[in-house]
């Protein structure tokens, strides 16, 4: 192994494992009955909870680095003792804990257990991105080298981005925007009241017309009917007058708001261009080093495109630093600290992110010394290939079977997934990135990108809801479609029930009109018996368990999907009768519509 060091930092970032365990009032033996500090060749836990893994670009073998009970316990301990200030308490494991609040910055914290040439064990710590604007904190692994070469350009672009941020905030809060909303609401209320009054008056005129026709004749009849006609015309005039008044007031405000929106759109595009330019500059200088002594820039390692933030996560920082210091990695854990962010929850462990870190894992783990912590991937999983519906140089679509995860879970017993199998089944599978996901119990079309640029293109289509998705399901009972109130209706109707997931009961979703996110599903009945109904479902939005909740909830169809163990009833051996039958996307290269279909298996 090539010997390398980085100036100034050296091995000062290492914290001896014995000292860490003493601060935790734990012994390694208390966490694992099969590994002790006196056995340096053993892994600190006999049962890994998960793996960091990748295919070695030199040998083609899969290499794995475990996440064990010991490194998880250390990560929890470090995270629980972080101070809010970046200057205080971040270099000591045993400081008094300061619990994060909702206002704190959420951050991924990484712990790498390593072994030096003398067989002594220690830990390295890293945080993702910046900590309160700082990239280097005493006692924590520094960023990957290369950022200093773009410091002036970074400062210039960050200043521009900051000015764009403040301009966007100003445009979002211009007084005309709030005035337009308030005035629009006032006029809408007036028009609704006027229309209600006119409807009542129209009914009265109809009654009067019947009486006049029954009691009047000749000129009296004509005059009375003309009077009713003039009343109707006056009502129309009043309505048009109010609309003209509304337009005279709202149009100038709408013009100002529209100009502000156009300016915001241009600023957002400019912000995106500046961010990409900065990332390109940085990635061209970021150098990663592996345990074989090979160095590559991020641009060289991820030629298919570089998502923002690539190289700033904990795992690349830690593995690169360990390689430059001649250390042997034993176990790695990444835990989320601070406020929730997206799907990240405090105290939860996560593996390498599919977009930024996973494509780097094979290179970073290459050249490590053969040991029990680096295991060739179990090729038995490759003996269960997935049916591929379509593949080319940009994407792959498979027919996911029910019961198989879309991506690996957080524990070793939930590693088997579409992604893990495809990484063995297809060439350059370690670069695959899932574009969307299906529930474990749902079968059907699943789409994966073969590079980051394709992933961005396809993800935008999902975000903009231009993707055509069609599911087929069988539900219990004879469904009465709410909008039509009749069984076996062939027309589409829409369910609109906001969904909310309690973080303490994940992944269970409930209908919540106060906290829920808008969730819409189009439904059409295909056929029905006395006990079951076959449906087509088109999710307009893509919330977790959306189709299952909209089917089962009393305000939806009131008919759980057959085999739904979470929202219905469980029958042993009976699968969830929900299948992704069709998926239409715009191909990222040829720009033609790609229609992917998987026959319904039930």
What is 519-546 written as a DSSP string? -EEEEEEEEE-SSEEEEEEEESS--TTH
Distances from the Cα of 96 to the Cα of 21, 77, 83, 86, 126, angstroms: 16, 11, 8, 14, 19
Distance CA 430, CA 427 (A): 8
The yes-or-no answer on residue 439 being catalytic is yes
CA 52-55-59 angle, to 5 degrees, is: 135
**Secondary structure (3-state) at 84:** coil
Contacts of 146 (CB under 8 A, 6+ apart): 282, 285, 286, 287, 297
Beta bridge partners of 163: none
Which residue of the set 439, 441, 451, 564 is catalytic?
439
Neighbours of 370 (CB within 10 A): 9
Cβ count near 463 (within 10 Å) = 10
**Hey, what's the torsion of the CAs at 269, 274, 275, 276, to 10 degrees?**
90
* Separation between Cα atoms, residue 472 and residue 495, nearest integer Å: 16
Q: What is the CA radius of gyration of the chain?
A: 31
Q: What DSSP character marks residue 293?
A: S
Sign of the dihedral through C-alpha 402, 596, 389, 51: negative
Beta strands per DSSP E along 28-139: 50-55, 62-67, 107-115, 121-127
How many Cα atoms within 13 Å fall on the side-chain side of residue 99? 2
Type and span of the H or E element at 390: strand 388-391
Distance from CA of residue 94 to its chain's centroid? 34
- DSSP notation for 436-496: S---TT-EEEEEEESSHHHHHHHHHHHHTT-SEEEEEEEEES--EETTTTEET--S-EEEE
- Edge-first strand order for the sheet with 349-350 is 15-16, 121-127, 107-115, 328-337, 349-350
Q: Do residues 480 and 486 lie in contact, with contact meaning Cβ atoms separated by under 8 Å?
A: yes
Q: In this structure, are residues 423 and 430 in contact, taking their beta carbons and an 8 Å threshold?
A: yes
DSSP structural state of residue 379: G
**Structural tokens at position 63:** 């290499």
CB 394 within 8 A of CB 451: yes
Cis peptide, bond prior to residue 507, ω within 30 of zero: yes
d(CA 298, CA 518): 39
Q: What positions carry a catalytic annotation?
A: 439
């Amino acid at each position: 192994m090539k010997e390398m060091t980085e100036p100034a930092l050296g091995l000062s970032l290492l914290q001896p494992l014995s000292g860490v365990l003493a601060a935790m009032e734990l012994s390694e033996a208390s966490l694992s009955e099969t590994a002790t500090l006196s056995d340096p060749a053993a892994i600190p836990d006999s049962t890994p909870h998960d793996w960091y893994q990748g295919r070695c670009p030199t040998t083609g073998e899969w290499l794995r680095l475990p996440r064990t009970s010991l490194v998880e316990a250390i990560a929890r301990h470090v995270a629980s003792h972080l101070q809010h200030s970046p200057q205080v308490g971040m270099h000591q494991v045993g400081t008094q804990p300061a619990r994060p609040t909702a206002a704190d910055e959420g951050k991924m914290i990484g712990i790498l257990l390593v072994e030096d040439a003398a067989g002594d064990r220690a830990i390295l710590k890293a945080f993702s991105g910046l900590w309160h604007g700082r990239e280097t904190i005493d006692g924590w692994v520094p960023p990957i080298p290369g950022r200093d070469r773009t410091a002036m350009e970074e400062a210039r672009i960050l200043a521009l981005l900051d000015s764009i941020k403040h301009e966007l905030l100003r445009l979002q809060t211009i007084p005309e925007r709030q005035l337009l909303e308030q005035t629009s609401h006032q006029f809408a209320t007036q028009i609704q009241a006027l229309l209600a009054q006119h409807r009542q008056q129209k009914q009265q005129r109809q009654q009067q017309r019947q009486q006049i026709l029954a009691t009047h004749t000749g000129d009296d009849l004509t005059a009375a009917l003309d009077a009713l006609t003039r009343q109707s015309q006056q009502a129309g005039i009043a309505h048009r007058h109010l609309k003209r008044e509304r337009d005279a007031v709202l149009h100038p405000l709408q013009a100002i708001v529209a100009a502000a929106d156009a300016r915001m759109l241009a600023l957002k595009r400019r912000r995106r261009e500046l961010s990409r330019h900065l990332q390109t500059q940085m990635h061209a200088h970021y150098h990663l080093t592996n345990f074989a002594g090979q160095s590559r820039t991020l641009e060289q390692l991820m030629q298919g495109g570089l998502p923002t933030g690539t190289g700033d996560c904990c795992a690349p920082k830690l593995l690169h630093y360990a390689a430059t210091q001649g250390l042997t990695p034993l176990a790695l854990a990444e835990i989320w600290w601070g406020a929730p962010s997206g799907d990240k929850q405090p105290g939860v462990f996560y593996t390498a992110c599919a977009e930024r870190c996973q494509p780097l894992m094979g290179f970073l783990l290459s050249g490590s010394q053969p040991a029990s912590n680096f295991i060739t991937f179990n090729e038995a999983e490759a003996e269960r290939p997935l049916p591929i519906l379509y593949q080319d140089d940009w994407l792959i679509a498979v027919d996911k079977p029910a019961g198989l995860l879309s991506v690996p879970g957080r524990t070793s017993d939930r590693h088997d997934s579409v992604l893990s199998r495809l990484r063995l089944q297809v060439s350059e599978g370690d670069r695959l990135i899932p574009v969307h996901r299906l529930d474990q119990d749902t079968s059907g079309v699943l789409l994966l990108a073969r590079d980051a640029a394709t992933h961005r293109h396809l993800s935008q289509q999902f975000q903009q809801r231009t993707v055509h998705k069609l599911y087929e399901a069988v539900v219990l009972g004879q469904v009465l479609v709410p909008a039509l109130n009749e069984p076996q209706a062939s027309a589409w109707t829409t369910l609109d029930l906001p969904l909310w997931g309690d973080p303490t009961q994940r992944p269970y979703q409930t209908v919540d009109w106060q906290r829920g996110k808008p969730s819409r599903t189009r439904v059409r009945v295909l056929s029905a018996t006395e006990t079951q109904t076959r449906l087509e479902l088109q999710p307009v939005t893509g919330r977790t368990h959306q189709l299952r909740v909209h089917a089962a909830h009393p305000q939806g169809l009131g008919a759980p999907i057959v085999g739904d163990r979470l929202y219905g009833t469980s029958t042993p051996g009976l699968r969830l009768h929900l299948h992704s039958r069709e998926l239409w996307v715009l191909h990222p290269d040829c720009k033609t519509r790609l229609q992917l279909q998987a026959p319904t298996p039930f």
